[in-house]
Amino acid sequence: MSTPYQGKGRVFGEFRCSQCNRTWQSGNSWANTGQMCQYCQIMIYPYSQRALEKSTSKIDLNKPHPRNLCERCRSERAMSTPYQGKGRVFGEFRCSQCNRTWQSGNSWANTGQKCERCQIMIYPYSQRQLEKSTTEIDLNKPHPRHLCERCLSGNLCPTKRY
């Protein structure tokens, strides 16, 4: 699909879903690249694109965007997290929709977790090796499998806690 902008860099884009008429703006728009409507789950291409510095919107251009809705990020999925190893790590997450933050000891390469509020898949912005906890961990607290991309795919997370 062709978009108004045909350059190589990131630009500001305006989107309108043809199915539900939802509109949104994004500072993460690229040539010939769409974003998924979070309600209809169909790919939408921008009807308008312009240079980031000419944007009159109050969008925070440094705020992480929903990578699961971005066609460019989805195509680069093989490298969608900072950590690219095989084991479990500690991840830090920030929802691009509601700004909710959380941490998890069940973070994996190229695997996200759904935001409890927005129910959109979010990928960690930071990951590091697990360390033995110095605080009390509630071993009876269940792992939220309904929010975990790894568990939802059928590859259940181990139950061992650190």
Residues 105-138 have pLDDT tens digits of 899 988 899 999 988 888 888 899 988 766 666 6
Q: Which tops the pLDDT comparison, 78 or 23?
A: 23
The reported pLDDT for the residue numbered 97 is 80
The reported pLDDT for the residue numbered 115 is 92
Residue 2 in this model has a pLDDT that exceeds 70: yes
Q: Are 67 and 123 in contact (CB under 8 A)?
A: yes
The reported pLDDT for the residue numbered 75 is 64
The dihedral through the CA atoms of 120, 126, 132, 136 has a sign that is negative
The reported pLDDT for the residue numbered 57 is 60
Is pTM beyond 0.85 here?
A: no
Alpha carbon distances (Å) from 35 to 1, 97, 104, 151, 158: 12, 14, 27, 25, 33
Residues 49-100 have pLDDT tens digits of 998 875 556 666 666 666 667 777 766 554 568 788 888 999 999 887 888 9
Identify the H or E element spanning 43.
strand 43-44
d(CA 100, CA 115): 8
Q: Which tops the pLDDT comparison, 27 or 45?
A: 45
The reported pLDDT for the residue numbered 42 is 85
The reported pLDDT for the residue numbered 78 is 47
Model confidence at 162, pLDDT cuts 50, 70, 90, reads very low
The reported pLDDT for the residue numbered 126 is 87
Q: Are 117 and 95 in contact (CB under 8 A)?
A: yes
Report residue 71: phi and psi, to 5°.
Answer: -60, -40
Q: Indicate the domain borders of the chain.
A: 11-50+58-75, 80-132+143-152
Report residue 68: phi and psi, to 5°.
Answer: -70, -15
Residue 27 in this model has a pLDDT that exceeds 70: yes
